[in-house]
Amino acid sequence: MTFAEETGELRNPGLPGIEEFDTLIYGSPPLAYPAALSQYAIYNTPDPAYVTGRINVSAFANLGAATPWPFTNTNVPLNGHVCIPRGRGPFPIAVFAHGNHNPFENSTPGYLYLCQLLASHGIIAATIDVNFLNGFNFGENDARAIVHLEHLKQFRSWNNTAGHPLEGKVDLNRILIVGHSRGGEAVGHASFFNWLASIGPVILDGSAGLGPYRFGLSAAAAIAPTDRQFVPTTGPTVVPDSYFIIHGSKDSDVFTFEGYHTYERAHAVDLANPTVSDGKFKAMLWVHKANHNQFNSVWAPETPPGVAMPRPSQEQIARVHLGALALAVLLDRREYFAVLRDHAVATAWDPAGTELVSQYQNPQRIFVQHNQEGLAPPVVSLPVQGTVAADGVAAARQLTALVGGAPTTTITLRLAWNSAGTRLLLRVDPATLPAERYKVIALRVGQSNEATNTANRDQDFTLEVSSGSRTAAFRASSLHRLLFPDPPPFGPAKIVMQTLRLPVARLVECGVDPSDLRSIALVFDRRQTGVVYTGDLQFTN
């Protein structure tokens, strides 16, 4: 824990910082936008220093023939809005991209509220025009990723241009890409494409106009993303960079929490090398009552009145949590990782009464149980050695689509009990579990809406950790609420697991020696009946 965390000195990251900034438009004029597309005419008068070229995305996408764009897919513009802090820099950069929407409405300005926040903290923040890929289409999210990367390339070019106002001002090793909806899926592809030499027939060395990229991406952040609409020839995209996702329970567009699958694929355990980490983190925030469109300030809500939280509340949540992410990964304000690790740190800054579920996986971790060995009865995961005993609790690994929608490839452990006092007991060989090297025990667990869980009541149990003769017991609810699933607008309810983080220091306070840890038990003694799903149990930081 940092000094700032210990002393409660974290400041609300959703509030403006002290940096002054300018907001500019950049674009590729002249383009003869017809009257029906008059909202895009603003890009015909960019700041004179910020005139851009065009790019050829024809290898990836066609433009909707039902929208009268004044250009083709061989010369689409690089248009956007950018908020630039005053001062010498260099400043980190965040670039936002919208998703699919009516192309006759310009979606780009919808993230200016976030760009302005980040710029006030000393971050160059842009929101880009990808509207020409919008429409009643499918499979074009590779093109969205390419457009996103080409905008980064534009900023690199300005940074490297002698005499340009941005010369030397862009910190190209601190980049955050953020996308919403299909743009959220696309940031995952962009993270993947960033280091590729080619995509199919398209060489990304600049010889044909696209690439090279190889940016220092600090993280990719997805707001209510889709998943697998575009699938690379190598299989579903696995995001190689640190990954953050935020999604609302009342989303009535991407109503199946597609991005959960992206999250699960990212930085997953490597069964051949289970102790090896790729050095990246991932974090998730599930927001009860948030819908899809209100993350974009210009999109009308897709939900009927009264279904979702008010727009200002949803924007406040976006400011707080994306602000914390940006401060943590772009400005080295590492104390803001506390918000990613545990959303409760932000309770005072989120709208009163907001219900959230969060997950966090630190790069440093050792799994005690990850459940990915197969659908056989649960085991302690190698290289940790031990046994698992289910005492009165039905423990079954399942390939259950916790969030509905597409089939999952991630196994979860379903635990069901019908009387109090049942338990799942993991006995471990302390010689194989170096728990003392880590700061917390982290358990992902969430309740379902099955009948044995009482509707709208938090689930609860006791976590018991023992070393030799000393045992420490903690109520799960003392670590976090395990919320009953929020009813979705349609489709199946989502079971979203909460990461419970129990500090190892608290075990030590209770006399438990982490270097001699013998067992971990989930004791179902707080509710007479129930069903929970667990993802993984790990020692981590």
Partner 1 sequence: MPLPEPTKIAAVEVVAAQPTEADRAAIAHMGLKEPKAVYVVKVRLTAKPPVTSMAWALYVGDERVSKYWEYTDGIYFVVFDPQFFVTHKGKRLRFSQNDTDFFDTDAVLAPAPSVAESNAIKLPLQADVLK
According to the binding rule CB under 8 A, does residue 471 interact with partner 1? no
Q: How far is the CB of 250 from partner 1 (least distance, A)?
A: 10
Binding residue for partner 1, selected from 44, 62, 75, 454, defined by CB under 8 A: 62
The DSSP secondary structure of 424-470, one letter per residue, reads EEEEE-GGG--GGG-SEEEEEEEE--STTSPTT--B--EEEEEETTE
User: How far is C-alpha 282 from the geometric centre of its chain's CA atoms?
Assistant: 7
**Distance between start and end Cα atoms, the chain:** 10
Q: How far from 14 is each of 10, 41, 91, 325, 358, CA to CA, in Å?
A: 11, 31, 19, 11, 18
According to the binding rule CB under 8 A, does residue 296 interact with partner 1? no
Q: Is the peptide bond before 30 cis (omega within 30 degrees of 0)?
A: yes
C-beta closer to partner 1: residue 57 or 537: 57
Q: How far from 388 is each of 274, 339, 416, 421, 521, CA to CA, in Å?
A: 19, 33, 15, 17, 10
According to the binding rule CB under 8 A, does residue 140 interact with partner 1? yes
C-beta closer to partner 1: residue 293 or 538: 293
Q: How far is the CB of 222 from partner 1 (least distance, A)?
A: 12
Q: How far is the CB of 99 from partner 1 (least distance, A)?
A: 5
C-beta closer to partner 1: residue 302 or 391: 302
User: How far is C-alpha 317 from the geometric centre of its chain's CA atoms?
Assistant: 14
299-318 residues in contact with partner 1 (CB under 8 A) are: 302, 304
Stretch near partner 1 under the rule CB under 8 A, chosen from 62-70, 341-349, 390-398, 525-533: 62-70
According to the binding rule CB under 8 A, does residue 149 interact with partner 1? no
Q: How far from 129 is each of 98, 140, 200, CA to CA, in Å?
A: 8, 15, 25
Binding residue for partner 1, selected from 17, 99, 259, 535, defined by CB under 8 A: 99
Distance, in Å, from the CA atom of 328 to the CA atom of 333, rounded to the nearest integer, reads: 5
According to the binding rule CB under 8 A, does residue 196 interact with partner 1? no
Q: In what order do the strands lie in the sheet with 124-128?
A: 21-26, 80-85, 124-128, 91-97, 170-180, 217-223, 243-248, 282-287, 356-361
Task: List 91's β-bridge partners, or say none.
Answer: 170
According to the binding rule CB under 8 A, does residue 262 interact with partner 1? no
Binding residue for partner 1, selected from 16, 29, 64, 240, defined by CB under 8 A: 64
Distance, in Å, from the CA atom of 338 to the CA atom of 340, rounded to the nearest integer, reads: 5
Q: How far is the CB of 401 from partner 1 (least distance, A)?
A: 8
Distance, in Å, from the CA atom of 499 to the CA atom of 169, rounded to the nearest integer, reads: 38
Stretch near partner 1 under the rule CB under 8 A, chosen from 211-219, 262-270, 329-337, 489-497: 489-497
Q: How far is the CB of 303 from partner 1 (least distance, A)?
A: 9
491-510 residues in contact with partner 1 (CB under 8 A) are: 491
- The mark string for 389-428 relative to partner 1 (x by CB under 8 A, - otherwise) is ---------------xxxx---------------------
According to the binding rule CB under 8 A, does residue 201 interact with partner 1? yes
Query: In terms of C-beta density within 10 A (0-12 exposed, 13-18 middle, 19 or more buried), how is residue 85 classed?
Result: buried
Q: How far is the CB of 458 from partner 1 (least distance, A)?
A: 26
Give a three-class secondary structure readout of 201-220: CEECCCCCCCCCCCCCEEEE
According to the binding rule CB under 8 A, does residue 197 interact with partner 1? no
According to the binding rule CB under 8 A, does residue 462 interact with partner 1? no
According to the binding rule CB under 8 A, does residue 207 interact with partner 1? no
Q: How far from 89 is each of 96, 119, 164, 202, 331, CA to CA, in Å?
A: 20, 12, 14, 35, 12
318-377 residues in contact with partner 1 (CB under 8 A) are: none
Binding residue for partner 1, selected from 97, 126, 254, 496, defined by CB under 8 A: 254
C-beta closer to partner 1: residue 408 or 467: 408
Stretch near partner 1 under the rule CB under 8 A, chosen from 131-139, 241-249, 434-442, 448-456: 131-139
5-24 residues in contact with partner 1 (CB under 8 A) are: none
Amino acid at 454: T
Task: List 422's β-bridge partners, or say none.
Answer: 524
According to the binding rule CB under 8 A, does residue 58 interact with partner 1? yes
Q: Which residues contact 383 (CB under 8 A, 6 or more apart)?
A: 274, 275, 432
According to the binding rule CB under 8 A, does residue 297 interact with partner 1? no
C-beta closer to partner 1: residue 14 or 225: 225
CA angle 36, 81, 230 (to 5 degrees): 75
Q: How far is the CB of 294 from partner 1 (least distance, A)?
A: 14
According to the binding rule CB under 8 A, does residue 65 interact with partner 1? yes
- Biggest CA–CA distance in the chain, Å, is 79
According to the binding rule CB under 8 A, does residue 150 interact with partner 1? no
Do the beta carbons of residue 428 and residue 518 sit within 8 Å? yes
CA proximity to 490, closest of 285, 224, 182, 251: 251
Interacting residues toward partner 1 by CB under 8 A: 58-59, 61-67, 73-74, 99-103, 134-140, 181-182, 200-202, 224, 226, 229-231, 252-256, 258, 292, 302, 304, 404-407, 489-491
